[in-house]
Chains A and B, each alone.
Chain A
């Protein structure tokens, strides 16, 4: 009997891959190994609904795993990959053979490096356990300081305000969301946070934390200070590459894979936040994305290619964030654009189109109440995927039908 497919990491990418293996007709054993004890759950709600008091949202119902013939091992950590023997070794002893292996190990929060950061409790948010700890710690009236004005930091800020805390966000860069979200939209979000009572401090580089009687004094490089009862570090994540590196696989800002998600060992693939891959849609540029849709898409692609497929990455990157009543969506790579075209819908709804130097649409981003920018972004995603070069004046005109642009595309763009 074949040793089967083994997936390390039961997050969005790993779970998606396990079910996609079955959907692709793979009949061998499928073992999905996750270091966490919970039934695999969605991470995006952690900084939204779960911090607000909601329950975890399982990716799939428990019964689905057995029904699909997937062996789910929870609370088991893989310590080593022995490539010569084609087996993995568990931290708690024992091992398991594989004839194909998928690494879907995700990413881990970066830790604060400043003096004093280890001298008191600094929360991070990646796992369910982190969310429960943070939720239990935040109390009305408490002073909460969040280090990092990225998406997670800002979602935590909104949730902490929702729980009645006094919130300060310290961001080292000159503006919020410096990575991946255009300045125009970040500015609108900054206004939303301020009007919801969040104190935002940009160009505020944390130099040191001094703890006194459980209160943190956060000293900035410019000499200013902020007192906080609770400190959250939301300064980004680093891909979990330890297993791959120890097994001698190539690592380049993540486990380095080719466009078919193969590592430097053809029997081992990687998917999700843990890997970097060349994207054909963007001139083969090597990307490492930290988004839910990317994890799903790569998980599914990995399953196809684990079962003999030879398909290259083709999805258009997409992500969203919810803060207060506002919904943000980003498709493609806005930062790869040379020019930005704004479509003002009136009210507080704005869509931006990002055109490459050759006129091709390479990104789109939008912000508005609820899901009001979703259609624009859904259409833009298809245009980006089809390498379309729509007319800038047309894009800017809110009365011109975006959907009509789709009918000009080759049929496969749906």
Chain B
């Protein structure tokens, strides 16, 4: 069942950057790609406990702030040591000035 929730405003996140969204005890990461598209993944690395929104976005990759594990935030796919488990992704929709994510 869809469960669309407002995560942030469109202008809250710069192009090629990431923001943090906390909801119901969970942490999410919201990305704004260089082309302006928004994406969302779980906000905690699959390697150890690190908040991904402290990391660096380059193109379509998020680099974990703790040990440089990388993920493609569009698919959640792990891109090299030390991460080998993918991130969960969430559907995103922009409505007016709001970025909504579907928590399912």
Task: Give the interface of A toward B (CB within 8 A).
Answer: 16, 42, 57, 59-60, 64, 292-293, 296, 300, 318, 320, 327, 370-372, 374-375, 378-379, 403, 406, 414
Cβ–Cβ contact B82 & A374, under 8 A: no
Tell me the B44-68 residues at the A interface (CB within 8 Å): 48, 50-51, 54-56, 58-59, 61, 63, 65-68
Given the known A-B contacts A16-B81, A60-B84, are A379 and B56 also in contact in the complex, defined by CB atoms under 8 Å?
yes
A346: min CB distance to chain B, Å: 17
Q: List residues of chain A with CB within 8 A of the CB of B66.
A: 320, 327, 371, 374
Q: Is the contact region of chain B dominated by helix, strand, or loop, or is it mixed?
A: loop
- A375: contacting residue among B48, B50, B56, CB under 8 A: B56
Tell me the B14-39 residues at the A interface (CB within 8 Å): none
Given the known A-B contacts A374-B54, A375-B56, are A42 and B82 also in contact in the complex, defined by CB atoms under 8 Å?
yes
Q: List residues of chain B with CB within 8 A of the CB of A370.
A: 51, 54
Q: List residues of chain B with CB within 8 A of the CB of A406.
A: 58
Cβ–Cβ contact B81 & A374, under 8 A: no
Cβ–Cβ contact B59 & A414, under 8 A: yes
29 contacts between A and B (CB under 8 A): A16-B81, A59-B82, A60-B84, A293-B67, A293-B68, A296-B81, A296-B82, A318-B68, A320-B66, A320-B67, A370-B51, A371-B50, A371-B54, A371-B55, A374-B54, A374-B55, A374-B65, A374-B66, A375-B55, A375-B65, A378-B55, A378-B56, A378-B63, A378-B68, A379-B56, A406-B58, A414-B58, A414-B59, A414-B61
Given the known A-B contacts A296-B82, A414-B59, are A375 and B68 also in contact in the complex, defined by CB atoms under 8 Å?
no
> How far, in angstroms, from A374 to B65 measured CA to CA in the complex?
5
Cβ–Cβ contact B65 & A378, under 8 A: yes
> How far, in angstroms, from A372 to B65 measured CA to CA in the complex?
8
Additional A-B contacts beyond A57-B48, A293-B67, A378-B68 (19; CB < 8 A)? A16-B81, A42-B82, A300-B81, A318-B68, A370-B51, A370-B54, A371-B50, A371-B51, A371-B54, A371-B66, A374-B55, A374-B65, A374-B66, A375-B54, A375-B55, A378-B55, A378-B56, A406-B58, A414-B59
Nearest-neighbor residue (CB-CB) of A299 within chain B: B81
B48: min CB distance to chain A, Å: 8
> How far, in angstroms, from A212 to B35 measured CA to CA in the complex?
70
Task: Give the interface of B toward A (CB within 8 A).
Answer: 48, 50-51, 54-56, 58-59, 61, 63, 65-68, 81-82, 84
Q: List residues of chain B with CB within 8 A of the CB of A16.
A: 81
A386: min CB distance to chain B, Å: 13
Nearest-neighbor residue (CB-CB) of A49 within chain B: B48
A323: min CB distance to chain B, Å: 14
Q: List residues of chain A with CB within 8 A of the CB of B67.
A: 292-293, 320
> How far, in angstroms, from A379 to B16 measured CA to CA in the complex?
14
Q: List residues of chain A with CB within 8 A of the CB of B65.
A: 371, 374-375, 378
Given the known A-B contacts A318-B68, A320-B66, A320-B67, are A374 and B56 also in contact in the complex, defined by CB atoms under 8 Å?
yes
> How far, in angstroms, from A16 to B81 measured CA to CA in the complex?
8
> How far, in angstroms, from A374 to B50 measured CA to CA in the complex?
11
Q: List residues of chain A with CB within 8 A of the CB of B81.
A: 16, 296, 300
A345: min CB distance to chain B, Å: 13
> How far, in angstroms, from A296 to B70 measured CA to CA in the complex?
14
A19: min CB distance to chain B, Å: 8
Q: List residues of chain B with CB within 8 A of the CB of A292.
A: 67
Nearest-neighbor residue (CB-CB) of B51 within chain A: A371
The 6 closest A-B pairs by CB, nearest first: A374-B65, A371-B65, A378-B56, A371-B54, A414-B58, A375-B56
> How far, in angstroms, from A245 to B84 measured CA to CA in the complex?
36
> How far, in angstroms, from A5 to B54 measured CA to CA in the complex?
40
Q: List residues of chain B with CB within 8 A of the CB of A300.
A: 81
A298: min CB distance to chain B, Å: 12
Q: List residues of chain B with CB within 8 A of the CB of A296.
A: 81-82
Nearest-neighbor residue (CB-CB) of A296 within chain B: B81
> How far, in angstroms, from A370 to B67 measured CA to CA in the complex?
12
Q: List residues of chain A with CB within 8 A of the CB of B48.
A: 57
Q: List residues of chain A with CB within 8 A of the CB of B82.
A: 42, 59, 296
> How far, in angstroms, from A379 to B65 measured CA to CA in the complex?
11
A385: min CB distance to chain B, Å: 13
Nearest-neighbor residue (CB-CB) of B57 within chain A: A403
> How far, in angstroms, from A54 to B81 measured CA to CA in the complex?
21
> How far, in angstroms, from A378 to B67 measured CA to CA in the complex?
10
Cβ–Cβ contact A372 & B54, under 8 A: yes
B43: min CB distance to chain A, Å: 13
